[in-house]
Amino acid sequence: MIQLNGISKLYDLGETKVNALKDVNLTINRGEYVAIMGPSGSGKSTLMHILGILDTVSGGQYLLEDYDITSLPDKEQARIRNKHFGFIFQSFNLFPELSALENVMLPMSYGGISYKNRRSRAQELLEDVGLAHRMYHLPTMMSGGEQQRVAIARSLSNDPDLILADEPTGNLPSDKGEEIMTMLEKLNDKGVTVVMVTHNPEQGNRAKRKISIKDGLLHKDEIVVKEAFNG
């Protein structure tokens, strides 16, 4: 699904230059559930932003379904991002002036979907995440867990091929974080590819594959072996 060949990212901060990623080679296959892990400043969020076409590369090649998108114009990259990717952020990134329903409808408006169909799809998604009773509430009227469920519904609005989740439980208490992790696992069970950045080892072990990054380099790439339950 995704292939990164020799990807590098250099941030020029005036007199200081930071090599956030160095010659990264990575393949992500359709249907995988991947956790990207590493210490603060390791480059894991930069890698997530590159995967989601939220940032440009300094060198290397990005193939999406064998199609080179590295040098595409911004408008075309935005179209691909909106159509194929769904995003879940630690800080939710909801528009505070929009209701839950309007937040979920918003990505569909960029795809030319009719208002009637946008509204119907958003209502269905909010029902799926257990927020039918919160559709017309503003984010400030909802708990953190509810806001993140709105964000998950929004990420699914265009039926994406890939969900990118950056520390999706970082601002939540443990019980609400557990709800979000369960939702991600259920999405993956339905065939949605999930890539998650997390600093939490327990959450990383719930993925099917773990990628460790350190100092901008891929440090380890391993399949997570699930322990059999005997009871």
pLDDT tens-digit map of 59-103: 999 999 999 999 899 999 998 998 889 999 988 999 999 999 999
Residues 6+ apart with CB under 8 A from 206: 35, 181, 185, 224
> Helix 144-155 vs helix 100-109: angle between axes, to the nearest 10 degrees?
20
Task: Name the pLDDT band for 14 (thresholds 50, 70, 90).
Answer: confident
Residue 218 dihedral angles phi and psi, to the nearest 5°: -70, 120
Q: What is the pLDDT of residue 8?
A: 95
Q: What is the pLDDT of residue 230?
A: 47
**Range of lowest pLDDT (72-76, 108-112, 183-187, 191-195):** 108-112
Instruction: Delineate the domains of the chain, giving CATH numbers in brackets.
Output: 31-42+79-223 (3.40.50.300)
Q: Which pair of structure tokens corresponds to residue 156?
A: 């699914």
**Mean pLDDT of the residues in the chain:** 91
Cβ–Cβ under 8 Å, residues 69 and 1: no
Residues 6+ apart with CB under 8 A from 195: 28, 32, 34, 36, 48, 51, 162, 163, 164, 165
Q: What is the pLDDT of residue 227?
A: 59
Q: What is the pLDDT of residue 71?
A: 86
Q: What is the pLDDT of residue 228?
A: 47
Task: Say whether pLDDT at 111 is over 90.
Answer: no
Render pLDDT for 189-216 as a digit per residue (tens, 0 to 9): 999 999 999 988 899 999 999 999 999 9
Distance CA 152, CA 89 (A): 9
